Amino acid sequence: MSAVTDASKLMNNYSRWPIRLVKGKGNTVWDEQGNEYLDCTSGIAVTSLGHVPPRVSERLQQQLGQLWHTSNLFEHPLQEQLAGKLAALSGLDRAFFCNSGAEANEAAIKLARRWQQKVKGEQRYEIITFQQSFHGRTLATLTATGQDKVKDGFAPLPEGFVTVPYNDLAALTEAISARTCAVLLELVQGEGGVTPADPAWVRALEQLCAKTGVLLIIDEVQTGIGRTGTWFAYQQYGIKPDIVSLAKGLGSGFPVGAILAREEVGEAFSPGTHGSTFGGNPLAMAAGLATIEVIEQERLLERVNELSRYLLSRLERIKQAHPAKVADVRGKGLLLGVELTQPVADVLAYMREKRVLALQAGPQVIRLLPSFVSTEAELDRLAEVLDAAIAAV
């Protein structure tokens, strides 16, 4: 991986791959030399419809000629449309728009605390999160994150966060107290190793929250908008959260984040309590509406499940072929992980040399995030290169 050169004025906070991408179309990206790569990262679960999807691009270009920004001092018809669409798809009632997943989780934390303190009149403020979770890079969301590596050097961290083991009901039950405001949960821990939550644990967690007056926040930043084969991952668990955070795939690459909440909870945000200068701008709303329309009209949720079954079968064959090297294959929809018995960095480097791009999720897990418009032939190429990489490294 390359670092920022001495001549660059960029801060050196990313370990970048030695590839400069200049163009993308569908599932293919090109570097400065014209080399083609099969992109199985989707920009970290963002470009779910492939790069520069035509209908989203057309909608954005149309909006570019009309209105870019006005601020939230004015009513926004496109905000109303996208909020209504998300409410219908989620079964929740209210929406707030921002620009990123970290902002969405910040808003969810603020909304939960304000509801408990101003609506319920209870001095609850603690948020329970889980080991190996990832919720963002702001001070509050990195504190909520259950990985110490993201917290190094940022002390003092905000108080009010308690982290317990994932899929452990006893630990969660013990952690809940009179101070507990909400539980913040990823149903598939993407950055933390592509680890799905146990369904029985999730149902018991929901019941425990209801019993104790604790709000349930589901972080769908990476899993939402179809990535796991349903509009939201929680729909596969038979639960209904109080608050949901979204970003990544909502805008097909245009920056947009959101939270959704049930009616009573959403009312805790009264005028002046929270805001975002750029949140819900017309360009972002146009991208979000077009993205959802394409997924609906082209029946891409069905396609995600078809492709998931196809790719999982290929990955299971790789596991069987390399029993000493492949420990597990897991995930949901097109958020899949291959856990190796060794570090994956060299495997990913080999794949890049063969012009296939995949991600890391922890030191020993390869994360695969193909787009919803992938073909079986592209997944075959991914599997063949991954198989060769595991064999060679």
CATH topology classification for 55-297: Aspartate Aminotransferase; domain 2 (3.40.640)
215 - beta bridge partners?
182
Which residues lie closer than 8 Å to 148 by C-beta, 6 or more apart?
none
269 beta partners:
none
- Please check whether residue 195 is in contact with residue 189, taking contact to mean a CB–CB distance below 8 angstroms: yes
Give the tokens for residue 309.
Answer: 């079954």
Q: What is the pLDDT of residue 4?
A: 55
Dist CA 292 CA 363 (whole Å)? 34
Q: Which of 96, 130, 242, 248 is catalytic?
A: 248
- Percentage, residues of the chain above pLDDT 90: 98
**Which residues 6+ apart lie within 8 Å of 218 measured at CB?**
185, 186, 187, 232, 233, 234, 241, 243, 244, 245
Indicate which residue of 96, 219, 232, 269 is catalytic: 219
Query: In degrees to the nearest 10, what's the CA dihedral of 51, 55, 57, 60?
Result: -140
Which ranges in the chain are annotated with CATH 3.40.640.10? 55-297
Verify whether residue 248 is a known catalytic residue: yes
Catalytic residue among 134, 232, 254, 269, which?
A: 134
CA-nearest of 267, 261, 213 to 92 is 261
Q: For 236, which DSSP code?
A: G
Q: What's the pLDDT at 206?
A: 98
Does residue 50 register a pLDDT over 90?
yes
Q: What is the mean pLDDT of residues 248-257?
A: 98
Identify the pLDDT of residue 139: 97
d(CA 206, CA 185): 11
337-356 residue pLDDT tens:
999 999 999 999 999 999 99
Boundaries of CATH 3.90.1150.10 in the chain?
Answer: 299-392
Give the pLDDT of residue 7: 79
Per the annotation, the verdict on 6 as an active-site residue is: no
pLDDT interval class at 115 (50, 70, 90): very high
CA 268 to chain CA centroid, Å, is 25
- For the CA atoms of 276, 119, 83, 215, the dihedral, rounded to the nearest 10 degrees, stands at 100
Distance CA 37, CA 34 (A): 10
Q: Is the pLDDT of residue 5 over 80?
A: no
pLDDT in the model for residue 46: 98
> What CATH number is given for 299-392 in this structure?
3.90.1150.10
Helices (H), 2-100: 42-45, 54-64, 77-90
Share of the chain above pLDDT 70, in %: 98
pTM of the model: 0.96
Tens-digit pLDDT profile for residues 181-238: 999 999 999 999 999 999 999 999 999 999 999 999 999 999 999 999 999 999 999 9
Q: Is 219 a catalytic residue?
A: yes
